Every structure is written in structure tokens, then in C-alpha cells.
């Protein structure tokens, strides 16, 4: 017996003395020794708000996900809260796009009004808002242009204004997703100066220039009219740089940091988790969701099992918060208890 404790098993050892399978024999045993427990408390649900009235349209590339006008968002949010979800992340869109995306910071904008509606129907729901310009600019980039290039500092100023308008409308957490340098610090200073020191910031800290955002861009009408986002979002080959980005955002005052996408960047999630103690979010993005949905629709995957496995993987890698289009459905699945 002792030999097994002091060295690797050899042919001379008693066969089978070490049998990890013992604890896999019964569902109850497996549940007792499970290292990662997925909980509805971890899930943050993205919702799309659009201008207009009476709009409730399914997004073709995101089956089951809807674009809703402000008058429809309150009821939908109530259902999300009733499913046991704690928090939503709102994405907006402009009625009129412009070079500087002026509508993004308008108190009459879809997101700003939606926050009020949600707080009315579901006062306990925590409201996060995506802070960006890409769904509001006529060129579809996440900042303000100077010729064909992004003007970082002019963009940061606009982005801070957008964050302030969300805070004024009642957002609990603002989430800048633009990847401009210095925006977290600029948002924090402006919010503090305007007496919103209680409004938290979740920074899209390590956001990669990913092909997996494709379906989202249809949902929020935010595809760039020219070029791509590689000049501001991170290069998929870089992981050490993610640690630097996270460090900078924390220094600038981020309360929560995020890695995005999630499934294709599990190593980055794990490295950020190992390096920093701050609350960590990971975004299981539209393309990751849509790929599993599409395979399930063809009968190639069991959606429930695949989704729960994917969400568990993101939690196991180290994410505290998982942003997922599956949130309400997953809440139901988790309620039913584990099947394995
Ligand atoms: C906007 C933004 C994007 C996503 C979240 N915020 C798209 C992009 O950067 O092009 C992607 C979300 C998803 O794919 O689910 N800056």
C-alpha cells in the first residue's frame, strides 16, 4: 500500500489499488466530489433593445433571442428575473446613426429608457449596460474616426459620456466594450465627478478581435462599414498581453474584468484567474452560442448537455460571472438538477 503513496504505480503493484473510477460509480458520489458547481447566480443575460414600438423580433442568427423595443422590454425582463436570473446586460441600437454616434449618450435613447422600464417591472434585477459606439456610428466602428483611423482620445471622451448617460438612467454597472486605451479611468473620473461613485464598471478587459462575434453584429447592426476591429481589439495569438490589459483596467478602477470570447479563450480565463483576485467575467459570445444551436438543430448535438458542459468549462477555467444567451434556459435546466 505504501508504495503507491511514494511513487508511480508499477507493474509490481497490486493491480487496481488506485482506481479513480470508484468515485464515478454512482450519480450521488459524482455530485459529492464535483469540483465545479454551476449555479444560476453566475449567469448574466444579454438583451437587445431597439428603437420603435411594439417590436419583438427573433434574431435570425441567434435562435430564441429577441430584439425588443422599450415598451416590450419590461415584461421580458420580468420573465428573466422570474426564471431566477439576477442580472441582465443591455445592448442598444440607434434610430439614427451618425459619425460620432450621438444617440448613444442621449437620455431618450433606447437603452436609457429601457433601464427605467426594467427597474419598474423588476426592481431587484441588476442592470448592466454595454457601453460602446458601434451600434450608433454610421461607420460601425467602436470609436470616433479621424479620417480612416480611430481617434483614441476623442473616442474615450464620447464613451465616458455614454457611460454617464447610462448611470443617470439608473444602470447599476456600466460595461465598456470598445477597447480604447484609458477608457476605464475616464469613465471612473467622470462618474465620480457627477456623483455616481456607486455605479460599478465591468471592463471588457481582454476582448479579442474574434470571428465569433458574427451573429451579434446582425443582432445589433454593428458590423464595421470598412476595415475590421484589429486595430483596437486584441490579437487572438496573445495571452500575456491579456494580463497586461486586465492589470491596466484594474489600475484605472474596473470593479469586474472580462475575458471575451470564453470558449475559445479558456486558457486566458485561467491565467487571469491565477494572476488576479478581482471578480472575473467571461462572455460566451454569439458565435459560440450559435454554433452549438445550429448543430443541435440538425440533431448533431444535444443542446442541453452541450450548453451545460460549455458553461461548466467556463466556470472551471475560473470565471465568476458567465455572460450567456442560454441564461434563462440554463436556469431551468439547473433547477431540474444534474442529470449525471
Ligand atoms: C460591441 C460588442 C460586440 C459584442 C459585445 N459588444 C461586438 C463587437 O465587438 O464586434 C459581441 C457579443 C457577442 O458576439 O455575443 N463592441
* Mean pLDDT (whole number) for 256-274: 98
Reported as a single tens digit per residue, the pLDDT across 16-40 is 689 999 999 999 999 999 999 999 9
Which atom of ligand 1 is nearest the CA belonging to 46?
15
pLDDT value at 331 more than 70:
yes
Confidence of residue 201 (pLDDT cuts 50, 70, 90): very high
Whether 115 shows a pLDDT value over 70: the answer reads: yes
The mean pLDDT value for 241-260 works out to 98
Q: β-strand 149-151 against 144-146: which pairing, if any? A: antiparallel
Mean pLDDT of 29-54: 97
pTM: 0.94
293 catalytic per annotation: no
**Buried b / exposed e along 306-325 (16+ C-beta atoms within 10 A):** bbbebbbbbbebbbebbbbb
Which of 222, 282, 288 gets mutated to test ligand 1 (max ligand atoms within 8 A of its CB)? Answer: 222
pLDDT at 111 over 70: yes
Query: Averaged over 214-233, what is the pLDDT?
Result: 90
How confident is residue 124, by pLDDT bands cut at 50, 70 and 90? very high
- E strand or H helix that includes residue 123: none
Q: 256-260 and 144-146 as β-strands: parallel, antiparallel, unpaired?
A: unpaired
Position 1 scores a pLDDT of 45
260 is an active site residue: yes
- Is residue 329's pLDDT more than 60? yes
Task: Report whether residue 142 contacts ligand 1, using a CB cutoff of 6 Å.
Answer: yes
Q: Measured between alpha carbons, how far is 295 from 298 in angstroms, rounded to an integer?
A: 5
What is the C-alpha separation between 315 and 309, in angstroms, rounded? Answer: 10
Instruction: Using most ligand atoms within 8 A of CB, pick from 179, 213, 261, 293 the residue to mutate for ligand 1.
Output: 213
Q: Could you tell me the pLDDT band of residue 152, with boundaries at 50, 70 and 90?
A: very high
In sequence order, the 6+-apart residues with CB closer than 8 A to the CB of 300 are none
Q: Is ligand 1 within 6 A of the CB of residue 213?
A: yes
222 band by pLDDT with thresholds 50, 70 and 90:
confident
Name the band, by pLDDT with cuts 50, 70 and 90, for residue 51.
Answer: very high
Residues 87 and 125: beta-carbon distance below 8 Å: yes
> Rounded CA gap, 143 and 138, in Å?
11
Ligand 1 site, residue 111, Cβ cutoff 6 A: no
Report whether residue 196 contacts ligand 1, using a CB cutoff of 6 Å.
no
Q: Is the pLDDT of residue 112 over 60?
A: yes
pLDDT digits (tens, 9 = 90+) for 68-90: 999 999 999 999 999 999 999 99
User: Which residue has the least CA distance to atom 8 on ligand 1?
Assistant: 213
The predicted-structure confidence for 1-11, as pLDDT tens digits, reads as follows 444 555 665 65
Point out the ligand 1 atom lying closest to the alpha carbon of residue 283: 15
Is pLDDT of 220 > 70?
Answer: yes
Nearest CA to ligand 1 atom 7: 213
Contact 89, 110 (CB under 8 A): no
Q: pLDDT averaged over the chain?
A: 94
> Span 86-115, mean pLDDT?
97
294 burial type by CB count under 10 A (0-12 exposed, 13-18 middle, 19+ buried): middle
Q: Parallel, antiparallel, or unpaired for β 256-260 and 280-283?
A: parallel
159 lines ligand 1 (CB under 6 A): no
Secondary structure element (H or E) that encloses residue 175, with its range: strand 173-176
Task: Give the pLDDT confidence of 203-213 residue by residue, as tens digits.
Answer: 999 999 999 99
**Better pLDDT: 64 or 218:** 64
DSSP-derived secondary structure for 42-110: GEEEEEEEESSSS-EEE-TTSTT-EEEEHHHHHHHHHHHHHTT--EEEEE---SS-BTT-GGGG-TTSH
148 vs 287, higher pLDDT: 287
Are the beta carbons of 129 and 48 closer than 8 angstroms?
A: no
| CA distances (Å), origin 98, targets 102, 110, 130, 182, 231 | 7, 16, 19, 23, 21
Nearest to 215 by CA among 78, 46, 68, 88: 46
From ligand 1's centre to the CA of 224, what distance in Å?
12
Q: Is the CB of 286 under 6 A from ligand 1?
A: yes
Set 97, 119, 207, 293: catalytic member: 207
Q: What's the 213 CA to ligand 1 centre distance in angstroms?
A: 6
Q: Read off the pLDDT of each residue in 268-272 and give the average, rounded to a whole number.
A: 98
Q: Tell me the DSSP string of 187-250.
A: HHHHHHHTT-TT-EEEEEEEEB--GGGHHHHHHHT---SSS-STTTSBPTT-SHHHHHHHHHHH
Task: Give Cβ neighbours of residue 288 (< 8 Å, ≥ 6 apart).
Answer: 212, 261, 262, 263, 264, 310
Ligand 1 in contact with 325 (CB < 6 A)? Answer: no
pLDDT band at 156 (very low <50, low <70, confident <90, very high): very high
Amino acid at each position: 500500500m505504501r508504495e503507491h503513496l511514494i511513487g508511480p504505480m508499477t507493474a509490481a503493484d497490486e493491480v487496481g489499488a488506485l482506481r479513480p473510477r470508484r468515485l464515478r460509480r454512482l450519480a450521488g458520489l459524482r455530485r459529492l466530489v464535483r469540483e465545479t458547481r454551476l449555479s444560476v447566480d453566475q449567469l448574466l443575460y444579454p438583451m437587445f433593445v431597439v428603437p420603435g414600438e411594439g417590436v419583438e423580433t427573433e434574431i435570425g442568427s441567434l435562435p430564441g433571442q429577441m430584439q425588443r423595443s422599450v415598451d416590450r422590454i419590461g415584461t421580458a425582463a420580468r420573465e428573466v428575473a422570474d426564471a431566477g436570473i439576477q442580472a441582465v446586460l443591455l445592448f442598444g441600437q440607434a434610430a439614427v446613426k451618425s459619425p460620432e454616434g450621438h444617440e448613444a449618450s442621449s437620455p431618450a435613447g433606447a437603452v436609457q429608457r429601457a433601464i427605467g422600464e426594467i427597474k419598474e417591472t423588476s426592481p431587484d434585477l441588476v442592470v448592466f449596460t454595454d457601453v460602446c459606439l458601434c451600434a450608433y456610428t454610421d461607420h460601425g466602428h467602436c470609436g470616433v474616426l479621424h479620417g480612416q483611423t480611430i481617434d483614441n482620445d476623442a473616442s474615450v471622451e464620447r464613451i465616458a459620456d455614454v457611460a454617464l448617460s447610462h448611470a443617470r438612467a439608473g444602470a447599476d454597472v456600466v460595461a465598456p466594450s470598445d477597447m480604447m486605451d484609458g477608457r476605464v479611468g475616464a469613465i471612473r473620473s467622470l462618474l465620480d465627478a457627477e456623483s455616481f461613485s456607486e455605479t460599478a464598471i465591468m471592463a471588457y478587459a481582454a476582448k479579442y478581435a474574434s470571428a465569433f462575434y458574427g451573429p451579434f453584429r446582425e443582432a445589433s447592426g454593428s458590423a464595421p462599414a470598412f476595415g475590421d476591429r484589429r486595430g483596437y481589439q486584441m490579437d487572438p495569438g496573445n495571452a500575456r498581453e491579456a494580463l497586461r490589459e486586465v492589470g491596466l483596467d484594474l489600475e484605472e478602477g474596473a470593479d469586474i474584468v472580462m475575458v471575451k470570447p470564453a470558449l475559445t479563450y479558456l486558457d486566458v480565463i485561467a491565467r487571469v484567474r491565477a494572476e488576479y483576485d478581482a471578480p472575473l467575467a467571461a462572455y460566451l459570445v454569439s458565435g459560440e452560442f450559435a454554433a452549438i444551436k445550429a448543430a443541435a438543430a440538425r440533431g448533431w448535438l444535444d443542446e442541453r448537455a452541450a450548453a451545460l458542459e460549455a458553461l461548466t468549462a467556463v466556470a472551471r477555467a475560473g470565471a465568476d460571472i458567465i455572460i450567456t444567451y442560454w441564461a434563462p434556459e440554463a436556469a431551468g435546466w439547473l433547477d431540474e438538477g444534474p442529470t449525471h
